[in-house]
């Protein structure tokens, strides 16, 4: 997942561009995913579906996030919803590197940055090859018990060790490349990707990372000692965490979903995943513009 595409990645991007731009003897195959029970998603689907169908074959239309995309031939996934819907699409793809284009039907939308009107304007340009594909780091999060992996999940945003009732201060040993780095005394610990740096990590006071960086943020939640600060490290660092005295509710959570309850002696292992999450971007999309608009940053825009 280097920032420099490999030969195969270049071939995949060229193939997708050829399909979407009509230079191959078949129409692109598109999956449309959307958040269930959300009126704005249904309204967006009604507007966008005939436009998409004019240039592509819609092979999946799933507003319940139940389709198994592991064995369906798809060239592009269009997600209607907010960032939570993007995370759900990442779970459905389960490591398949298929470009995703997000249309924001939610509130904030750092990942799903295009509005419905933006999409209608951008779609003809996408079909003509006016796009780029950005690869985002994912984490492979494993729970190890008695030397065996009992659960694992890919995470696009973050992995977090969180406590539960009874709410007490946790002691979490952090190992980096098999060396003890420190013992955190805190309410929890977040390991975030650049994509996830604007999610839970940001709420906990962590830094924002540019999304193309191959880096992670290690962010303690409400640390007992003020010298515990957020740490930015290489994504190639191999992390392990051990909770000294977990309660019955102490859990490892990936992208907002509980992977498993942590017992005494469990080790939580975090590595850069072998797969990346691909997002399709169009001209005009810019990270600083998104941050300025979504976070309400002040300042004037030069014209």
Alpha carbon distances (Å) from 222 to 24, 34, 190 = 54, 35, 11
Where do we find the tokens 């939640």?
221
Q: Are 7 and 66 in contact (CB under 8 A)?
A: no
Tokens (6 digits) for 47: 């507007």
Query: How distant is the alpha carbon of residue 145 from its chain centre?
Result: 26
User: What's the sign of the alpha-carbon dihedral 119, 95, 198, 232?
Assistant: negative
- As a whole number of angstroms, the longest Cα–Cα distance in the chain is 62
Q: Is 37 left (phi over 0), alpha (psi -120 to 50) or beta?
A: left
Is-contact 211 195, C-beta < 8 A? yes
Query: Which is it for strands 170-176 and 239-243: parallel, antiparallel or unpaired?
Result: antiparallel
291 vs 148: CA distance, rounded Å: 41
Q: Is 177 a catalytic residue?
A: no
Cis status, amide bond into 211, omega within 30 of 0: no
Which tokens sit at 27? 């129409």
| Set 75, 83, 187, 266: catalytic member | 83
Give the whole-angstrom CA distance, residue 246 versus residue 168. 10
Residues classed as catalytic:
83
């Amino acid at each position: 997942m280097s920032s420099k595409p490999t030969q195969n990645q270049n071939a995949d991007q060229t193939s997708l561009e050829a399909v979407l731009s009509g230079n191959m003897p078949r129409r692109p195959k598109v999956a449309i995913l959307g958040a269930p029970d959300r009126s704005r998603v249904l309204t967006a689907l009604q507007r966008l579906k005939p436009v998409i169908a004019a240039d592509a074959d819609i092979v999946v239309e799933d507003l319940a996030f139940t389709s198994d995309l592991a064995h369906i031939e798809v060239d592009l996934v269009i997600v209607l919803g907010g960032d939570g819907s993007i995370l759900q699409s990442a779970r459905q793809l389960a490591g398949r590197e298929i470009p995703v284009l997000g249309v924001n039907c939610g509130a904030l939308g750092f990942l799903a940055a295009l509005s419905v009107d933006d999409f209608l304007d951008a779609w003809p340009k996408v079909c003509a090859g006016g796009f780029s594909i950005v690869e985002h780091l994912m984490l492979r999060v494993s729970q190890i018990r008695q030397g065996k992996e009992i659960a694992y999940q890919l995470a696009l945003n973050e992995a977090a060790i969180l406590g539960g009732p009874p709410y007490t201060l946790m002691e979490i040993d952090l190992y980096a490349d098999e060396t003890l780095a420190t013992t955190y005394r805190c309410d929890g610990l977040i390991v975030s990707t650049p994509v996830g740096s604007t999610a839970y990590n940001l709420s906990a006071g962590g830094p924002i990372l540019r999304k193309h960086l191959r880096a992670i943020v290690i962010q303690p939640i409400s640390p007992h000692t003020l010298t515990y600060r957020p740490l930015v490290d290489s994504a190639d660092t191999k992390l392990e965490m051990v909770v000294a005295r977990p309660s019955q509710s102490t859990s490892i959570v990936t992208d907002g979903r509980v992977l498993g309850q942590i017992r005494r002696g469990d080790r939580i292992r975090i590595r850069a995943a072998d797969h990346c999450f691909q997002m399709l971007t169009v001209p005009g999309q810019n990270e600083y513009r998104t941050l300025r608009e979504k976070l309400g940053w002040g300042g004037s825009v030069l014209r």
